[in-house]
């Protein structure tokens, strides 16, 4: 079995797709299809010939071998599955769906593509009483897109995956939190770490001065007074 680079997979896939036209496939066709120049195509074809995936007679046209057909078809199948999922399930426009699919097809695992195919099948075959969820999702998308005045809700990915981490200077007095990350300038970071403010430890906000500067916190029984800039460099997650 051969393992092809992303680039070579694209060449094989291109030959497959161009073959669908029912015309002979030539160097120029591939170059245009993939937006590369002819010498690049010729170089790639040499490799594919050496691997036994295509036949190519000098100055002639190109054909996939039996092994090459299988390989190209597997790439193309991934492409179609991903594109269909993006377009029909997620509601992404066709051009973006195709572009993303053709990039992802080379690095996604077989098992994940298969699971996505299962998802598509499920969405298509789930009984009607349970089915409105997909329509509901598309409504949800439409409403979000309409209400989002360009930029608002830009951090949806973060909201969706975060453990709701915020900076230590935002914690009100009396509350506890766990340190997630210590950022900030080198000197500040060093000082904070030296004081025992390291990821995983629990901190309790003891007192906050009027302007939020300084703040008193308790770490492992020790009282510490932090400047606002220091507290602002500590990412914490409120527990509870």
Partner DNA sequence: TATAAATGTTAGGCGTGCCTAATATATCCG
Partner DNA sequence: CGGATATATTAGGCACGCCTAACATTTATA
Residue with tokens 């195919």: 117
User: Residue 70 interacts with its own copies (CB under 8 A)?
Assistant: no
Task: Label residue 193 left, alpha or beta by phi (over 0 means left) and psi (-120 to 50 means alpha).
Answer: alpha
User: Residue 30 interacts with its own copies (CB under 8 A)?
Assistant: no
Q: Give the shortest CB-129-to-its own copies separation in angstroms.
A: 9
User: Residue 7 interacts with its own copies (CB under 8 A)?
Assistant: no
Among 37, 146, 194, 200, the residue binding DNA under the rule CB under 7 A is 37
Q: Give the shortest CB-27-to-its own copies separation in angstroms.
A: 16
The site that binds its own copies (CB under 8 A) totals a number of residues, namely: 67
Instruction: Map residue 163 onto helix, strand or coil.
Output: coil
Among 114, 175, 202, 223, the residue binding its own copies under the rule CB under 8 A is 114
Q: Give the shortest CB-233-to-its own copies separation in angstroms.
A: 11
3-state secondary structure string across 39-94:
HHHHHHHHHHHHCCCEEECCCCCEEECHHHHHHHHHHHHHHHHHHHHHHHHCCCCH
Number of CB atoms found within 10 A of residue 204's CB: 16
Q: Give the shortest CB-185-to-Mn ion separation in angstroms.
A: 26
The site that binds Mn ion (CB under 5 A) totals a number of residues, namely: 5
Show the site string, 73-112: x = touches Mn ion by CB under 5 A, - = not.
Answer: ------x----------------------x--x-------
Burial 149-159 (b: 16+ CB within 10 A, else e): eeeeeeeeeee
User: Residue 79 interacts with DNA (CB under 7 A)?
Assistant: no
Instruction: Map residue 137 onto helix, strand or coil.
Output: helix
CA separation for the pair 78, 73 (Å, rounded): 9
User: Residue 103 interacts with DNA (CB under 7 A)?
Assistant: no
Q: By CB under 8 A, which span of 36-44, 114-122, 169-177, 213-221 interacts with its own copies?
A: 114-122
CA separation for the pair 12, 18 (Å, rounded): 10
CA separation for the pair 234, 188 (Å, rounded): 10
Determine phi and psi for 128, rounding to 5 degrees: -60, -30
**Out of DNA, its own copies, Mn ion, none, which partner does residue 212 contact, by CB within 5 to 8 A per kind?**
none
User: Residue 53 interacts with DNA (CB under 7 A)?
Assistant: no
Footprint of DNA (CB under 7 A): 5-8, 26-28, 31, 34-47, 56, 58-61
């Amino acid at each position: 079995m051969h393992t092809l680079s992303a680039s070579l997979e694209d060449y094989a896939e291109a030959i497959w797709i161009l073959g669908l036209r029912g015309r002979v496939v030539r160097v120029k066709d591939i170059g245009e299809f993939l937006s590369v120049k002819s010498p690049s195509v010729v170089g790639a074809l040499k490799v594919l010939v050496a691997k036994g995936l295509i036949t190519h007679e000098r100055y002639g046209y190109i054909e996939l071998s039996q092994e090459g057909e299988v390989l190209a078809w597997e790439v193309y199948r991934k492409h179609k599955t991903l594109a269909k999922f993006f377009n029909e399930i997620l509601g992404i426009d066709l051009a973006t769906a195709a572009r993303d699919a053709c990039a992802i097809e080379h690095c996604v695992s077989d098992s994940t593509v298969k699971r996505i195919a299962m998802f598509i099948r499920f969405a298509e075959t789930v009984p009607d009483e349970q089915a409105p969820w997909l329509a509901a999702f598309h409504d949800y998308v439409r409403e979000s897109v309409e209400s989002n005045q360009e930029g608002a809700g830009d951090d949806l990915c973060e909201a969706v995956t975060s453990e709701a981490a915020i900076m230590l200077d935002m914690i009100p007095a009396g509350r506890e939190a766990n340190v997630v990350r210590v950022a900030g300038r080198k000197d500040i970071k060093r000082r904070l770490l030296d004081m025992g403010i390291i990821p995983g430890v629990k901190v309790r906000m003891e007192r906050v001065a009027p302007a939020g500067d300084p703040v008193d916190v308790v770490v492992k029984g020790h009282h510490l007074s932090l400047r606002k800039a220091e507290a602002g460099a500590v990412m914490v997650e409120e527990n509870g």
